Amino acid sequence: MTPADGSRGGVPTLEITGAVKRYANGHLAVKGVDLHADEGEFVVFVGPSGCGKSTLLRMIAGLESVTEGEVRLKGRVVNDVEPADRDIAMVFQNYALYPHMSVYDNLAYGLRNRKIPKPEIDRRVREAAEMLQIGEYLARKPGALSGGQRQRVAMGRCIVRDPAIFLFDEPLSNLDAKLRTQMRLEIRRLQRRLGVAAVYVTHDQVEAMTLADRIVVLNGGRVEQIGAPVEVYNAPASTFVASFIGAPAMNLFPAEAEGGAIRVDGGSAPAPARARGAVTAGLRPEKARLVPAGGGLPFTVETVEELGATRLVHGHVGAASFVVSLEAGVSPPGETCAVTADPADVHLFDRGSGARL
């Protein structure tokens, strides 16, 4: 592994090379993926629904076979190893707690099957329960718990196993917004504290940004970009990543690049000098500035959304719809005005392939 892709050296906890998944019905869900997770690293797979995130995660868990390529855990190829023997633990979207067992038994079940001595099981279960503040529910059945409590039990089931890696498949998507934020922080805190590597699947880019040491953006079974959250945010590798990461989404619009500026509808704005000719330009709503007409790309205000802390000004640049985020209390300089930005904030993409220029 080269330092360029963020590796810290040593044997990575997880290493996937050339992974392909073709389902029995012929559907190609994963089309050649290479990635790795280092010791203690939190890796998030993010992408739209159906892009193959869960499939990839389940290949790591051993719940789906690997059609081609290799999955290694701590250097060992595990393609043909049973899930129970892979030294992994997984939190499912619906938690998948055993409804007929008490919380205690849910946590202890995997350990008992591993013939771990009873006092050791008891110690681990109580320690995990304390860490997750579910000690008082140990005798209850999962049916008598709230969504957040079940979520904790599911986490507890992973923690007691002390695995090489945690796998999460959209674990927060069944919780309400407030609980989701809280549990997100808690997952991060726990993972840091335990120092166990994690792979986390989500379609929510906010979750991805806040949790990840490294984000893997997937699209149609392929990796679009791998990088730290700020890297992915600041230098999206493609128009797909640019529009997927960040909210409100980056504005993308066709423009003429002429070395140091972009031009739309007779107006122009400063831009990096990297490209010439027809490009797709990108500008984040919070990085765009509204100036009086003539000072940039022509922009007509259509609606203003008041969000309290910010205001979203909707309009068009050329034929593309465009959003500018203004601080509270700031008004656009007029009904017709112009958009401009620091050249460093303007992203340029190939018009055809969408790749970053």
Partner 1 sequence: MKKVQFSGIAPPLLLIAPQMAIVVIFFLWPAAEAVRTSFFIQDPFFGRAVFVGFDNYVNAVTRSDYLRSAAFTGVFVTAICAISLGFGLLFAVCADEVLRGEGPYKTLLMWVYAIAPPVAGLIGVMLFDQHIGPLVDFFAFFGWELQTGVDYWDTAFAMTVVAAWKQIPYNFIFFLSGLQGIPRSLREAAAIDCRSPARRFWTVVFPLLAPTSFFLLVINITYAFFETFGVIDVMLKGEPGNNPVSLVYKVYLDGFRGQDLGGSSAQSVILMVGVMLLTVVQFRFIERRVHYA
Binding site for Mg ion (CB under 5 A): 54
Distance CA 37, CA 34 (A): 11
Distance CA 32, CA 222 (A): 7
Helix/strand/coil for 137: helix
CB atoms inside a 10 Å sphere around CB 26: 6
Q: What is the DSSP letter of 355?
A: B
The nearest distance, CB 54 to ligand ADP, in angstroms, is 3
Tell me if 269 sits within 8 A of 255, measured CB to CB: no
67 binds partner 1 (CB under 8 A): no
Helix/strand/coil for 82: coil
What residue type is 317 in one-letter code?
A: V
Per CB under 8 A, the list member of 18, 83, 259, 277 interacting with partner 1 is 83
Q: Residue 54 to residues 86, 198, 227: CA-CA distances in angstroms?
A: 18, 14, 20
If we measure between CA atoms, which residue out of 355, 350, 344 comes closest to residue 257? 350
Give the dihedral of Cα atoms 153, 38, 203, 346; nearest 10 deg. 150
Task: Point out which span in 49-57, 70-78, 251-259, 275-283 binds ligand ADP (CB under 6 A).
Answer: 49-57
> 224 vs 345, which CB is nearer to ligand ADP?
224
If we measure between CA atoms, which residue out of 14, 56, 54 comes closest to residue 33? 56
205 binds ligand ADP (CB under 6 A): no
Q: What is the token pair recorded at 259?
A: 């070395």
The beta strand positions in 117-250, using DSSP E, are 165-169, 197-202, 214-219, 222-227
19 binds ligand ADP (CB under 6 A): no
Tell me if 204 sits within 8 A of 180, measured CB to CB: no
Per CB under 8 A, the list member of 16, 57, 88, 197 interacting with partner 1 is 88
98 binds ligand ADP (CB under 6 A): no
35 binds ligand ADP (CB under 6 A): no
Task: Point out which span in 52-60, 269-277, 304-312, 348-356 binds ligand ADP (CB under 6 A).
Answer: 52-60
318 binds partner 1 (CB under 8 A): no
> 89 vs 264, which CB is nearer to partner 1?
89
Number of residues lying near ligand ADP (CB under 6 A)? 12
Distance CA 252, CA 347 (A): 9
Interacting positions 130-149 with partner 1 (CB under 8 A)? 141, 143
Interacting positions 37-66 with partner 1 (CB under 8 A)? 61-63
Residue 113 contact partner, candidates partner 1, Mg ion, ligand ADP, none, CB within 5 to 8 A by sort of partner: partner 1
Distance CA 341, CA 357 (A): 18
The nearest distance, CB 357 to partner 1, in angstroms, is 43
> 25 vs 303, which CB is nearer to ligand ADP?
25
Per CB under 8 A, the list member of 51, 90, 165, 291 interacting with partner 1 is 90
Question: Chain centroid to CA 176: how far?
Answer: 19
Distance CA 279, CA 267 (A): 15
Task: Point out which span in 47-55, 313-321, 330-338, 343-351 binds ligand ADP (CB under 6 A).
Answer: 47-55
> 98 vs 228, which CB is nearer to partner 1?
98
> 55 vs 340, which CB is nearer to ligand ADP?
55
The nearest distance, CB 26 to ligand ADP, in angstroms, is 8
Q: Rule CB under 8 A: which residues touch partner 1?
A: 61-63, 82-86, 88-90, 92-94, 96-100, 109-110, 113, 141, 143, 157
Q: Rule CB under 6 A: which residues touch ligand ADP?
A: 23, 25, 27, 29, 47, 49-55
